[in-house]
Each structure stands twice: as structure tokens, then as C-alpha cells.
């Protein structure tokens, strides 16, 4: 009887132990499930917070600063707001972060092109309304377009013949030109006159290996040949560039203020000992021919370091 009771007691204890074990396992599973659910609820908030801290959502890209420039049609805007009679616009964009445009006003027909070319070539002898209007338009384009679109910079505005063989610079932003190099020794620290003298000599100077570049101003009315009283006189004030030696040669010219100059083919010095049997009208005819047959030349901007080198050699005589 005692054995039976002991057996029953043992079986009862076994059921109690098994039941407790299953209860513990079930509780552990419940706790684990609650923890996972809590983690799932917490993660979305964390992700949202991180996204907000980064300032943008997934898939969102930075705005393109050039979008406004891409949408802005420079050529059409020029045609609409700055029309030039018998001409159309051609624009060229330089390679830089900011759009550096060269604006060309191109003649529509050969007939009009030839007419304007002749006027530009004779611009130093008389004033043409068409040229004045064109220069005024060019300056407006240079000044106003960057205000309309801050990403724009107009490097220069030029008139170009119908065949593209002849061009005249109407205006240029010399200080901010894309051809300039921003260095400690840049052209921005020099005057436009100094830059002009150096550019003219770099383009036309007979000898580039000079130790001094002299600038002399000859007023209108002065004789072309100061050693001959029969000489013709200059119709305008001219500038004479010369080295320190006769072998360096000289360049005599007047500026038009539009990137072109009128070159007078005058020697640095005239021969003083002329033959006695020389025709008395010879010098007058020779010097008259010199002032009536000037050459219109477009002055190329040139390489900056060469321009600066020549500027440092300038000796200006007033």
C-alpha cells in the first residue's frame, strides 16, 4: 500500500515539473515576441528621425543650379529684346561653371555686310548713326543680361560680316573676360590705356625684343613729317609707339574705342637730307597719301603674360 502511494506521488510531481517547464518556455516566447514587436515599432521612428536629420528623403536629389540657365534661351531673348536691323545674333558659350557668352551680331546679307564694313573702315573720319546705335545696343547687352539671369556673363559683343571674314569688337568686359587669368599679377591692376598700348605693340610692333616701349602723343594739326614745312598734317590726335632704338621701329595709330585702331604707315623718322632736285610737292603728296590710306586693324587681346611684360616696359611721354 505504501508502494502504491509513493508511485502516485512520484507521478504527480512529474506532471507538476513538466507543466512548470512548459509554462516557462511559453513565457519566454511571449517575452521574445513582445521585444521584437517593440523593436519593429521603434525602428520606423528612428528611420524617420534620421531621414529628417539628413534634410532629404531617399531618392531626393540636390537642385541643379544651372536649371534656370538651361531654360533661358539667350539667342531668342536677344532677338526679341535687342533687335538690330538687317542682322541676327549668334552666341558662343565658353567652358566654365558660369556661362561666359560671346555675342556676335551677324549681317543678314552680303549687301548690308559690305555697306557696314565700309562704314566701320571709315569710322575714324566721320560718325555713322548705325555704328553708334550698334555700340549702344552692345553696351546694353553687356550690362543688362547678367541682371536678368545671374548665371550669365557676357564676355564680348562683336559685329561680324556676312561671310565671317571681318569683325569688329563693339564692347568687351576686359576685367572679367574669360581670357583673363586671375593671378596676383593680372591685367585688372592696369589701366585700359596701358593694356591698349601693349596689345598694339604685341600685334604690330616690328621688334618684340625691346627694353623700353615709348608712348608719344601727337596732337591733331601737327605735321606728319616734322622736318618738312610742306608736310600734310594729322587730322586727329595719334599715338606713336616706339622702342628705344631705331631698329625697334614704330607704330603710329589712333583708337576707335571699339577694339579697332587706324594705323598710319608713317616711319619713325623721316630723312632730313633730301635731294635738291626733289619735286617741291613730293613730301606733301607722300604725307597726304599716308593720312588718307590708313589701315583699320582689329586688336587681338593677346596672351596676358606677354601683355603684362610689355606694360612693365612702358614709358609714357605727354
- Residues in the chain predicted with pLDDT less than 50, given as ranges, are 1-66, 96-97, 179-184
> Which residue range forms the structural domain that includes residue 121?
67-172
| Cα–Cα distance list, 95 to 14, 104, 178 (Å) | 89, 17, 9
pTM passes above 0.85: no
Domain end among 172, 200, 224:
172
191 lies in the same domain as 313: yes
> Taking the CA of residue 150 as centre, how many other CA atoms within 13 Å lie in the half-sphere pointing to its CB?
1
Q: Is residue 75 part of a domain?
A: yes
Q: Is residue 62 part of a domain?
A: no
* Distance (Å, whole) CA 47 – CA 57: 10
Phi, psi of 65 (to 5 degrees): -70, -15
Which pLDDT score, from 0 to 100, does residue 60 have? 46
Model confidence pLDDT, tens digit, residues 265-304: 999 888 766 677 778 888 999 999 999 999 999 998 888 9
List the one residue out of 98, 316, 311 whose CA is nearest residue 186.
311
253 lies in the same domain as 309: yes
Q: Is residue 32 part of a domain?
A: no
Which pLDDT score, from 0 to 100, does residue 45 have? 47
Which pLDDT score, from 0 to 100, does residue 59 have? 44
Model confidence pLDDT, tens digit, residues 100-145: 788 999 999 999 999 998 887 765 556 788 888 998 999 999 889 8
Domain end among 141, 172, 203:
172
Which pLDDT score, from 0 to 100, does residue 118 have? 84
Q: Is residue 42 part of a domain?
A: no
Which pLDDT score, from 0 to 100, does residue 47 have? 44
Domain end among 172, 205, 220:
172
Which pLDDT score, from 0 to 100, does residue 204 have? 96
Q: What is the CA radius of gyration of the chain?
A: 42
229 lies in the same domain as 264: yes
Percent of the chain with pLDDT over 70: 69
Which pLDDT score, from 0 to 100, does residue 71 have? 64
162 lies in the same domain as 79: yes
Amino acid at each position: 500500500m505504501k508502494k502504491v502511494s509513493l508511485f502516485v506521488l512520484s507521478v504527480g510531481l512529474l506532471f507538476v515539473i513538466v507543466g512548470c517547464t512548459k509554462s516557462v518556455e511559453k513565457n519566454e516566447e511571449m517575452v521574445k515576441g513582445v521585444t521584437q514587436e517593440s523593436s519593429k515599432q521603434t525602428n520606423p521612428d528612428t528611420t524617420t528621425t534620421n531621414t529628417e536629420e539628413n534634410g532629404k528623403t531617399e531618392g531626393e536629389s540636390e537642385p541643379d543650379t544651372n536649371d534656370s540657365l538651361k531654360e533661358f534661351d539667350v539667342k531668342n531673348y536677344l532677338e526679341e529684346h535687342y533687335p538690330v536691323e538687317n542682322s541676327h545674333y549668334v552666341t558662343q558659350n565658353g567652358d566654365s561653371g558660369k556661362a561666359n557668352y560671346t555675342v556676335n551680331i551677324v549681317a543678314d546679307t552680303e549687301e548690308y555686310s559690305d555697306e557696314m564694313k565700309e562704314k566701320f573702315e571709315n569710322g575714324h573720319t566721320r560718325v555713322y548713326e548705325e555704328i553708334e546705335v550698334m555700340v549702344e545696343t552692345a553696351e546694353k547687352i553687356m550690362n543688362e543680361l547678367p541682371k536678368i539671369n545671374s548665371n550669365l556673363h557676357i564676355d564680348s559683343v562683336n559685329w561680324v560680316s556676312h561671310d565671317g571674314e571681318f569683325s569688329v569688337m563693339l564692347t568687351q568686359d576686359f576685367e572679367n573676360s574669360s581670357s583673363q587669368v586671375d593671378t596676383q599679377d593680372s591685367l585688372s591692376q592696369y589701366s585700359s590705356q596701358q593694356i591698349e598700348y601693349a596689345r598694339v605693340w604685341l600685334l604690330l610692333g616690328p621688334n618684340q625684343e625691346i627694353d623700353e616701349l615709348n608712348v608719344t602723343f601727337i596732337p591733331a594739326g601737327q605735321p606728319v613729317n616734322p622736318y618738312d614745312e610742306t608736310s600734310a598734317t594729322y587730322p586727329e590726335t595719334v599715338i606713336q609707339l616706339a622702342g628705344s632704338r631705331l631698329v625697334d621701329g614704330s607704330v603710329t595709330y589712333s583708337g576707335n574705342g571699339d577694339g579697332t585702331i587706324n594705323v598710319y604707315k608713317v616711319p619713325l623718322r623721316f630723312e632730313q637730307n633730301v635731294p635738291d632736285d626733289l619735286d617741291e610737292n613730293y613730301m606733301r603728296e607722300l604725307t597726304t597719301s599716308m593720312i588718307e590710306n590708313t589701315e583699320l586693324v582689329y586688336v587681338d587681346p593677346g596672351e596676358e603674360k606677354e601683355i603684362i611684360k610689355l606694360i612693365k616696359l612702358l614709358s609714357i611721354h605727354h
